[in-house]
Amino acid sequence: MAADVHSKGVTWDTPNGNLAPVERLPNSRSESPTPGLVEGTEPGAGQERAMFVHTQSFEDLTADVELTGSRPSETEEVEEKEEEQQREGEGGGGGGGGADAVDEPRQDVQAIVREKEEDVTSETWRSHKKHVFVLSEAGKPIYTRYGSEEALSTTMGVMMALVSFVEADKNVILSIHADGFRVVFLRKSPLVLVCVSRSGQSDGELWRELHYVYYQILSLLTLPQLQRVFQQRQSFDLRRLLAGSERVTAGLLRLLETDAGLMLNATMSLPLCSTTRNIVCTSLQAASSKNLVFSILLAGNRLVALIRKKEQHLHHTDLHLLSNLAASSSSFRQGEGWTPVCLPKFNASGFFHAHISYLEPSSDLCLMLVSTDREDFFNLSDCKQRFLERLKKRNAYQALKEALHSPTYPVSQVGIPELWHFVYKSKSSGLHPRSSPPYKSSKIKF
């Protein structure tokens, strides 16, 4: 039975049976594509150069606080190539099966295999700028990006010993700075997450990334299930429940390195003329369903439009997790996927059920329909068809496809000759555009 994921006392049905936007879409200009996308920052705290932080009580130290004022990260070397990750969803009729539906790009599969098979005693393993470890409070390895968990079990045991030693004196270890490395700890019972970095990022930025990894795990399990398995057996091997999700987590870590939106607590938007965006939004509204909570149209990792049920809001973190999930498997391009997903910032205790499909196999336009009903697959499949028919009938589909190939936002439009590059975020909508890269050649001289 699907868990109760909506707020008590909220009226889900609207008078016309459609999804309700915050306000009417204006005719003269394009409204934000994100009615209901709320802004927020991730929990975390620390002092720049302190290994330990002292306070009045142990409870104060272990309570979540808001992370503010993080400085932008220094430029990092982008690793290898973009990869698609895989998450096997719950089978639900109509999902273009067959070999093509699960045929992952061979080069991406090989890249993941190479990372997991790295020798943890080699110089290659040590040379990575950032390592992420996830372990249980019993010191049981759960995830590592490079190398196998078994080979690093002793290392993770030492990490847990450090955490336990400090907590024995009613204190909390936050970070260690030594020899150009930052070792940042995040305790999220029953898990401990650790990042070892020499990327130049601040503690706050690394905490934010560890929170994303934690939320990624919750999106697959829910918090009650995570807590229950460790209450029943403290030495439980969580990898059994997370099997097959390694590529989703690896994809999220690469997204954290390349998408400024995750640093800005914002979502990248697709530039689109007002007329086309209005048609997309109204078409999503028209293709409604009783149990449909969020209708999201993505263009890769860029947001085209988001429609929500009245009084239900989607946090940017949950949207990033959904976007990462949509990119996790090429099977979504071949058919209609149906998978349970927890949105931890909305409600970490229950599952939604997401219908994920691309408007065309070769297109980057991905439609995600999120429902509270686990039996809603065929109904949402019909919603997708009605949405697509309406787009084509109103001549907006071709405009959408052309927008995918539009150039990025040029700095020249700002009108400041000396300006090379900038990034900004709209505080009202939680959006940021993708601007042109400042440097096209490593041979530029100053």
**Domain definitions of the chain by residue range:** 84-98+116-258, 267-403
In this prediction, residue 438 carries a pLDDT of: 66
Number of C-beta neighbours around residue 158 at 10 A: 10
In this prediction, residue 108 carries a pLDDT of: 60
The first and second tokens of residue 107, run together, are 């080069």
Q: Are 152 and 141 in contact (CB under 8 A)?
A: yes
Helices 316-326 and 203-221 meet at what angle, rounded to 10? Answer: 60
84-98+116-258 and 267-403 have identical folds:
yes
In this prediction, residue 74 carries a pLDDT of: 34
Give the rounded distance of the alpha carbon of 132 from its chain centre.
Answer: 16
pLDDT tens by residue, the chain, 446 residues: 334 343 333 333 333 333 333 333 333 334 444 444 444 323 222 223 333 333 344 444 445 543 433 333 333 333 333 333 433 333 333 333 333 333 444 556 667 677 878 888 899 999 999 999 999 999 999 999 899 999 999 999 999 999 999 999 889 999 999 988 999 999 999 999 999 999 999 999 999 999 999 999 999 999 999 999 999 999 999 999 998 888 899 889 989 988 888 888 888 888 888 899 999 999 999 998 889 999 999 998 899 999 999 888 999 999 999 999 998 777 788 889 999 999 999 999 999 999 999 998 888 999 999 999 999 999 999 999 999 999 999 999 999 998 888 767 777 777 888 888 878 788 777 887 766 666 665 555 54
In this prediction, residue 117 carries a pLDDT of: 80
Taking the C-alpha atoms of residue 285 and residue 206, their distance in angstroms, rounded to an integer, is 38
Question: What letter represents residue 14's amino acid?
Answer: T
pTM: 0.76
In this prediction, residue 114 carries a pLDDT of: 79
Q: How far is CA 330 from CA 84, 96, 397, in A?
A: 7, 11, 22
In this prediction, residue 432 carries a pLDDT of: 78
DSSP assignment letter at 299: E
Cis peptide before 407 (omega within 30 of 0): no
In this prediction, residue 442 carries a pLDDT of: 57
Q: Which CATH superfamily is domain 267-403 in?
A: Dynein light chain 2a, cytoplasmic (3.30.450.30)
Question: What letter represents residue 133's amino acid?
Answer: F
In this prediction, residue 311 carries a pLDDT of: 84
CATH number for the domain formed by residue range(s) 84-98+116-258: 3.30.450.70
Taking the C-alpha atoms of residue 319 and residue 307, their distance in angstroms, rounded to an integer, is 12
The first and second tokens of residue 70, run together, are 């993080």
The first and second tokens of residue 338, run together, are 């149906």
